[in-house]
Amino acid sequence: MSKENKVVYKEKINWKKEAALLPGYLIVIIWVLFTAAFLFWILGASLSTSREIFSGSVFKFESGFHFENYINAWNTGNVSVYFLNSLLYATVTCVFVILISAPAAYVLSRFTFLGNKGIKTSLVLAMSIPEVMIIMPIYSLTAQYHIRGRILLIILYILLRVPFTTTYLLNFFASLSRSYEEAAAIDGCTPAKTFWQIMLPLVQPAIVTVTIFNFMSVWNEFFMALIFATSTETTPVGVGLLQIVNSMKYTGNYGGLFASVIIVFLPTFLLYIFLSEKIIAGVTGGGVKG
């Protein structure tokens, strides 16, 4: 109610108030302009030749738009391999994490049993353990059992996302009314069936949010990939881009490099353009209890 009043009130521009806010506007506008200028330059450079980039004439496009930078990066620069790997890792992880975490979050939030509290605490602890504490045993374990290739990274990413996803979903299941289960039980529905058909669809908004986070996290992951992606065929975008940068010294193909940067950057950026409100709400809602 009061919020609506505020909106109406705001539509009349109060110049005195706006003037007082001017320094604030200036500071954020400069920061945002800097970000925008820098992204547009990268976009411009990705459509230019290396010579144009070096002579500082990126936005003139004297020799036209070089879309072939993208085609070359995609085909000969291995970007297609990295991109499809990341897409595979991220989507498979998102699906399996929900299949593991949602049932666990449900029973942890709805049933009392021995070890319930202990598991919840362990999940939170697992989220705060530095990754360097776990990589070495995982490395020797997977070498011992000859687990390698894409399946290795997929398994690792799924397991890495379980603590966060479970903890995130816990609160949402806890907030649901018990009357759903009671009604289902009266109708003779088994607990498992109640979960899959009634309770899981009810937390759909939370699942969407947590899946966005899981997707972005796997897409942007670097440390695990650096250690466990041992061949070009299994490398995701983060490490792939590092390899492109490292080989730049020999190829000198700057246009192709910036095209690769744009390709790597685009998927999460597009997600963000459409879902920024949801993502921002998720960051402050899930991460902070304060």
Partner 1 sequence: MKKNRIFIIGFILPCLLALFVMYLYPVVRTVAMSFFGIESVTSDVSNWTFNGIDNYIKIFTSPTFQRAMRNVLIIWIIGGIIILSIALLFAVILTSGIRFKKFFRAAIYMPNIISAVALATMWIQYIYNQDYGLLNQILSTLGLEGKNWLGTDMKFWAMLGAFCFGAVGYYMLIFINGIERIPADLGEAATIDGANKVQQFFQITLPLLRSIFKTNITFWSVNCLTFFLWSKMFSPVSTEASTVVPVVYLYDTVFGTVGNVQRDAGAGAAIGVVLAIIVGVIYFVMNKLLKDDDLEF
Residues 197-216 that bind partner 1 (CB under 8 A): 216
Q: At 246, list the tokens.
A: 């490292």
Is residue 207 within 8 Å of residue 58, measured between CB atoms?
no
Q: Does 121 bind partner 1 (CB under 8 A)?
A: no
- Cα–Cα distance, 227 to 241 (Å, whole number): 15
In whole angstroms, the minimum distance from the beta carbon of 175 to partner 1 comes to 19
Query: DSSP letters of 204-241?
Result: HHHHHHHHHHHHHHHHT--HHHHHH--SGGG--HHHHH
Would you give the end-to-end CA distance of the chain in angstroms?
27
Rule CB under 8 A: which of 29-58 touch partner 1? Answer: 31-32, 35-39, 41-42, 45, 53-56, 58
Choices 26-34, 63-71, 87-95, 202-210 (CB under 8 A): range interacting with partner 1: 26-34
Choices 60-68, 69-77, 201-209, 241-249 (CB under 8 A): range interacting with partner 1: 241-249
Q: At 62, list the tokens.
A: 């004297």
Q: Does 246 bind partner 1 (CB under 8 A)?
A: yes
Q: Does 87 bind partner 1 (CB under 8 A)?
A: no
Count of chain residues binding partner 1 (CB under 8 A)? 97
Query: DSSP letters of 52-77?
Result: HHHTT-TTT-TT---THHHHHHHHTT
SS3 state of residue 136: helix
Nearer to partner 1, 81 or 227 (CB): 227
Task: Return the number of other C-beta atoms located less than 10 Å from residue 20's C-beta.
Answer: 10
Rule CB under 8 A: which of 155-194 touch partner 1? Answer: 156, 158-160, 162-163, 166, 190-192
In whole angstroms, the minimum distance from the beta carbon of 197 to partner 1 comes to 14
Nearer to partner 1, 143 or 183 (CB): 143
